[in-house]
Amino acid sequence: MAFKFENLEVWKLSVVYIDLIYAIADELPRSEEFNLKSQIKRAATSIALNIAEGSMGQTDGEQARFLGMAIRSLVETVACQQLIRHRGLISSNQPLDDAYNQAEELSKKLHNFRKAINPQQTWLREDPIEYVTPPAPTSPTSQ
């Protein structure tokens, strides 16, 4: 194999994951052709493409950045799966269960790989914020 990414376990797993996602997408109704079907396929493909592109980076930090994009694309596919499940768009939940389990494994491996190549990086998380409903505006006549 001529390219570094072809030897990466996470890339090989992402290709298997793409196959699962395409099988799910093929079961979606025609009405989802340009919505969930297209979205989930593009997101799944993006996982493998970001892994490949990042492997050719000049620095570990650059590769870690592409792995982060792969993780975000993976999460996007999981969100699509949840929407498919919620809307009952395919006849059996088994393919969704299989893809979800594969997504969990792939996610762990992507996170571990990213940490391994750039261990000194602190991966920032957005602090949770409390969403509150703003008070209703008062009308000038009620004052």
Single-letter amino acid code for the residue at 13: L
The tokens for 86 are 């919620």
pLDDT score, position 120: 77
* DSSP character string of 42-56: HHHHHHHHHHHHHHT
pLDDT score, position 2: 86
pLDDT in tens, the chain (143 residues): 689 999 999 999 999 999 999 999 999 999 999 999 999 999 999 999 999 999 997 788 899 999 999 999 999 999 999 999 999 999 999 999 999 999 999 999 999 999 999 887 665 555 556 666 666 666 565 55
The CA distance from 102 to 17, in Å, is 7
Domain coordinates in residue numbering, the chain: 4-118
Is 54:65 a contact under the CB 8 Å cutoff? Answer: yes
Instruction: Say yes or no: domain 4-118 is CATH 1.20.1440.60.
Output: yes
pLDDT score, position 129: 60
CA 44 from centre of chain: 7
The pTM for the full model equals: 0.82
